[in-house]
Every structure is written in structure tokens, then in C-alpha cells.
Amino acid sequence: MSATFPRLPKILAFTCGDPAGVGPRGALASVRAGALSVGVSPVLVGEASVWRRAGWRSSDGPIRDTALGLAAPRSGRSTVDGGKIAAASFEEALRLIARGLAGGVVTAPISKTAWSQAGYPWRDHTERLADFAGTPDAQMVLGVPSRRLWCAVATRHIPLKEVPQSLNARAVTACARALDAALHRLGLKKPRLALCGLNPHAGEGGLIGTEERALAPLARRLRLDGPLPADSAWRLHAAGVYDGLVCLYHDQALIALKALGGLAGVNWTVGIPFVRTSPAHGVAYDAAAAGHFDPAAAIESARLAARLLAA
């Protein structure tokens, strides 16, 4: 059963993410780029020292200081303090939502290593969001909205060798339904979806694996085309034949999405009763240390969140 939340105000909480990465600067860049719809306001959540170092100006919106008393760690590497700051920022954003003070959250990238080192018990944002909202079937929908590229992933951050045994009808069904619901929410009345096969050439009739024999009847039941060879499915999606793809593991989705859409990818959590988006890239420690980064994903994430919140 999902948790009950107050009516969502048109306020987006921006977390700082890992302060040693590009997240804080990305959040500020998205606000300054005019990514928020008229009537949607930002609140910047995290240590005030992190936002000030990133170049915060009062015109960027108010800071919700997590007040840990920690200095912003040096850019470019994972630290325990960085993990503490990132976790505190995320938890405070969730408290704002629970209290009806924010209607959604745009999360900056975090380091799973830093979260673990800091003792934070969750592996990633999606796991924590599902638990917080009481919606265990919350799903990641990934895309580049400006390119109309969309996919969802039936398994998440697990070793590749564990993917075949982790795939089951429930996981694939939840993934497909989340993608369909997301595209409906974006205005597509009858999204055209395809299921990617697990093996090269979608198993080549059983010569390269037999998993597709179980996936084929599932695809028919869910009214998905496929299972298709993943490389062909992505080519057809990019050409507009499909509106989205149901992928089976992390790299099957992310390699193609980043190759086609560059650094503008967005991670959208579907199945929770509030808005959450995030750049679909990591903390980019090297870029942060060098003092340069591409804010495209941060801008796309903020724009999508504001669109959803304003609808």
C-alpha cells in the first residue's frame, strides 16, 4: 500500500548530490537556464557551504540548509563526508515532500561508494524512494525528452551474471507498465513499445541461449513487439518506429541511450505519488575537479520535473 502525501505544491526540491561531483553546479545551471515552468519554484537542499561554493546567488532560490556543519569536500573524489552530505540532502528533500512543502525532487548524482562509506543503508535513490513512498514496484524510466528516446529497465544495479536468474514475468511486466504509463503521461495515447532480447540476435532461435523462449509469450501478453535483438530495437526506436523500449539490464539501456542522446539523459521514477527526476549520469568527479561539465542532463531533468508538476 502506498503512503499518503499532502497535495503537491509547485515547488521542486533540488538535492546537492555528492558535493565533490558536478551535481550542485548542475542544479544551479538548470535553474538559471529557465528550465522551470511558470509557477514552479525551486528550493536548494543541502549544506549551505556546498551551494555557496557552487556559486549560489539569492536569485537561484532559497537554501534549505541541512546544517551538518561539514565543509564542502574537495572536488574530484569520493569521501565519507561527501556521502553524509548527499544522504542528508536527499532525506531532507523527502521530509519536505512528506510535509507538503515540496511537490517533487530533482536529485543530483550520488556516489554509491560514498553513501556506503557514510553508513547510509540504501544502495540507490530508487530503492529509497520505493520504500519511502510505500510503492515497491517503483521503476526507473530513462530517456532524453528532447530526442524522444525512452526506455525502462527490468533489472537495476546487479552484476551482469545475475541478470538471467533475476528476470521473471513480474519484473518485466512492472517495467513495461511503468514505461507505458510514463509515455501516456507525456501525451502518447497508444505508445508503441518493443521488448529487447537478452541474448545477441535475440537468441538466434535458441542457438545463443533459450531465455527468449520464455520472453516471447510474455511479450505477446503485454502487447509488446519482440523480443528483438537489442541493437536492432534501438535503431528502430531512434528512427521513430517505437516510442520506447523495455530493456532487460543496465547497460542494454544506458549504453545506447548515452550514445544516441549524449549527456542529456534523464532518470524518471515512475510509480510514486510525487515527481522525481535526476540526470542519468554519475557524479563526474573528473569533470568537477577540472572545473568543467555539461549541464544538459541537469537542465532536461529540471524541465521534465517542472512539466510534470505543472500538469
For each successive 10 residues of the chain (311 residues), what is the average pLDDT?
71 97 97 92 97 96 97 93 98 97 97 96 94 92 96 91 92 96 96 97 90 94 97 98 97 95 95 96 94 93 95 83
What local confidence, expressed as pLDDT, does residue 9 receive? 87
1-136+271-311 architecture in CATH? 3-Layer(aba) Sandwich (3.40)
Cβ contacts of 243 within 8 Å, gap of 6 or more: 148, 150, 183, 188, 191, 192, 193, 237
What local confidence, expressed as pLDDT, does residue 1 receive? 42
Same fold, 1-136+271-311 and 139-270: yes
Whole-structure pTM value: 0.92
What local confidence, expressed as pLDDT, does residue 2 receive? 59
CATH superfamily of 139-270: Isopropylmalate Dehydrogenase (3.40.718.10)
10 Å Cβ neighbour count for 198? Answer: 24
What local confidence, expressed as pLDDT, does residue 37 receive? 85
| HSE of 64, CA atoms in CB hemisphere, 13 A | 22
Domain ranges of the chain: 1-136+271-311, 139-270
Residue bearing cell 533475476 = 166
What local confidence, expressed as pLDDT, does residue 291 receive? 86
Contact, 24 vs 54, CB < 8 A?
Answer: yes
What local confidence, expressed as pLDDT, does residue 142 receive? 97
